[in-house]
Amino acid sequence: MQKLIENSKSETFWDDNKSAQSVMREIASIQEELDMWHKITEQANDLLDLSKLEDETFQEELENESTVLEKQLAQLELETLLSGRYDKGNALLSINAGAGGTDAQDWGDMLMRMYLRWAEQNGYTTEIINQSPGEEAGIKSVTILISGKYAFGYLQAEKGVHRLVRLSPFDANNRRHTSFVQVEVLPEVAAEDPSVSISPEEITIDVFKSSGAGGQNVQKNATAIRITHIPTGIVVSCQNERSQVQNKENALKVLRGRIYQLELEKQEKKLSELRGTYKKAEWGNQIRSYILHPYQLVKDHRTDYENGNISAVLDGDINAFIESYLKAKRN
């Protein structure tokens, strides 16, 4: 950090404004972490001094403060596992209904509610930047921007296929159905980030009228945006905003995230093939199952972590699944 501070004092530091802003953000982030550790150290020393008094009247206060401190340390320990380039940043979470017809689209809607509740409970802000409603119920797809510290780092644990087993409310014979939904998690990559460069010559932009909810203005005016990245063939659409400019900006956010993820997957594939451990990701390889019938259970197939309180899980209580995945990934 000292080197970064010294560089920021250079007379030519602000000649490259984008680079300078990136350095200042990094300095601020490091300083925030240092301040947090200093605060926890002070709290621990205060508790130690209090315990040395051996005064029973402070016992309840000591226990309460110790519990708070333990939770803070556990959270910081978990955050040490999040050291990736974008782990501290915002996340773009996409939900896409798969096999299962109307049930899968309804399942996608249930997962959207689960992640919105999780974000609210953990202090994150959310913005739905693109949504395609289902034909009879639920959603075909949705992309949500989840903003806050470590949003991407934590939500990476949710990437993959989520399976639901239940008695279908859309089946007249009330038979058991299995539905699949694909969850994609991308980092929000800043436009000035040098690791993802998109030139105007590499993309084509189509403008069209939005469909679905949004009011008369959305229906009548061509505000929806479709961007095709020619080198990779990636296609991104956004139509939730009334502003064509805002839809374009949101589409570019998703495109930058997908280009970054594609490059990362290429690197991981190359390393895995050298190690002889590469396995192609298939649709049927679900990461988690949510079973409502004949019994109730949520099970993560990567870590074997289970929770029988499926109502709480679908109401956003998924931190234990995320933590168990991050810890297993470290080992």
Q: Is residue 48 part of a domain?
A: yes
- Do 302 and 318 lie in one domain? The reply is yes
Q: Is residue 84 part of a domain?
A: no
Q: State residue 160's pLDDT score.
A: 92
Q: Are 29 and 85 in contact (CB under 8 A)?
A: no
CA angle 115, 117, 119 (to 5 degrees): 70
- Do 6 and 73 lie in one domain? The reply is yes
- Do 180 and 317 lie in one domain? The reply is yes
- Do 97 and 186 lie in one domain? The reply is yes
Q: Is residue 263 part of a domain?
A: yes
Return the percentage of the chain with pLDDT > 70, whole number.
88
* Last residue within a domain, chosen from 47, 79, 111: 79
Q: Which helix (H) or strand (E) holds 41?
A: helix 17-52
* CB-facing half-sphere around the CA of 206: CA atoms within 13 A: 10
Q: Is residue 128 part of a domain?
A: yes
Q: State residue 218's pLDDT score.
A: 44
pLDDT digits (tens, 9 = 90+) for 181-209: 999 999 998 877 777 889 899 999 999 88
As a whole number of angstroms, the distance between CA 136 and CA 130 comes to: 19
- Do 285 and 270 lie in one domain? The reply is no
> How many structural domains comprise the chain?
3
Residue for token pair 């309180």: 309
- Do 284 and 188 lie in one domain? The reply is yes
pTM: 0.78
Q: Is residue 172 part of a domain?
A: yes
Low-confidence residues in the chain, pLDDT < 50: 213-219, 278-282
- Do 205 and 287 lie in one domain? The reply is no
As a whole number of angstroms, the distance between CA 239 and CA 225 comes to: 6
* Last residue within a domain, chosen from 58, 79, 100: 79
As a whole number of angstroms, the distance between CA 198 and CA 186 comes to: 17
- Do 149 and 254 lie in one domain? The reply is no
Domain with 270 in it: 200-275
- Do 171 and 222 lie in one domain? The reply is no
Sheet-wide strand order for 125-133: 125-133, 139-147, 91-97, 176-187, 160-167, 286-291, 297-300, 306-307
Q: State residue 274's pLDDT score.
A: 65
- Do 75 and 133 lie in one domain? The reply is no
Q: Is residue 113 part of a domain?
A: yes
- Do 170 and 235 lie in one domain? The reply is no
pLDDT digits (tens, 9 = 90+) for 268-309: 777 766 666 544 444 557 899 999 988 999 999 999 999 999
- Do 286 and 137 lie in one domain? The reply is yes
* Last residue within a domain, chosen from 275, 304, 321: 275
What is the CATH classification number for the domain harbouring 240? Answer: 3.30.160.20
